[in-house]
Amino acid sequence: MASRAPWAAHFGLARTPFGKAIAAGDLFARQAHAQATARISFCIDQILLGVITGDVGAGKTVAVRAAVAGLDPTRHQVIYVANPAFGTRGLYVQVVRALGAQPRYLKAELMAQAADLLAAETAERHRTVVLIVDEAHLLQPDQLEELRLMTNAEMDSASPFAGILIGQPTLARQLRMGTFAALDQRIATRYAIKPMDLAESAAYLRHHMTLAGREEPLFADDAVARLHRVSSGLPRPACPAPSTTPPPPRSSPPRPPGRTSSTMPAPRKQSPSSPETDYQHQPTP
User: Is residue 267 predicted with pLDDT exceeding 70?
Assistant: no
User: Is residue 260 predicted with pLDDT exceeding 60?
Assistant: no
Sheet holding 128-133, edge to edge: 76-81, 128-133, 162-167, 49-54, 187-193
DSSP string, 86-119: SHHHHHHHHHHHHTT-PPPSSHHHHHHHHHHHHH
Give the pLDDT confidence of 126-157 residue by residue, as tens digits. Answer: 899 999 999 999 999 999 999 998 888 766 67
Give the pLDDT confidence of 219-233 residue by residue, as tens digits. Answer: 777 887 888 888 777
pLDDT of residue 66: 87
User: Is residue 214 predicted with pLDDT exceeding 80?
Assistant: no
Give the pLDDT confidence of 25-70 residue by residue, as tens digits. Answer: 667 778 888 899 999 999 999 999 999 999 888 888 888 888 998 8
Q: Which amino acid would we find at residue 25? A: G
pLDDT of residue 10: 58
- Could you tell me how far CA 85 lies from the centroid of its own chain? 17
Distances (CA, A) of 220 to 205, 217, 224, 227: 11, 8, 6, 11
Report pTM. Answer: 0.73
Distance CA 48, CA 156 (A): 12
Give the pLDDT confidence of 87-121 residue by residue, as tens digits. Answer: 889 899 999 999 999 999 999 999 999 999 999 99
pLDDT of residue 19: 64
Distance CA 197, CA 233 (A): 6
Contacts of 233 (CB under 8 A, 6+ apart): 195, 196, 197, 198, 200, 201
Radius of gyration of the chain, Cα coordinates, nearest whole angstrom? 31
Average pLDDT, the chain: 78
pLDDT of residue 131: 95
Q: What are the counts of helices (DSSP H) followed by strands (DSSP E) for the chain?
A: 11, 5
Distance CA 173, CA 236 (A): 24
Which has more confidence, 248 or 45?
Answer: 45
With beta carbons less than 8 A apart as the criterion, state whether 93 and 86 touch: yes
Lowest mean pLDDT among 72-76, 171-175, 200-204, 232-236: 232-236
Distance CA 35, CA 14 (A): 32
Percent of the chain residues past pLDDT 90, beyond the cut: 34
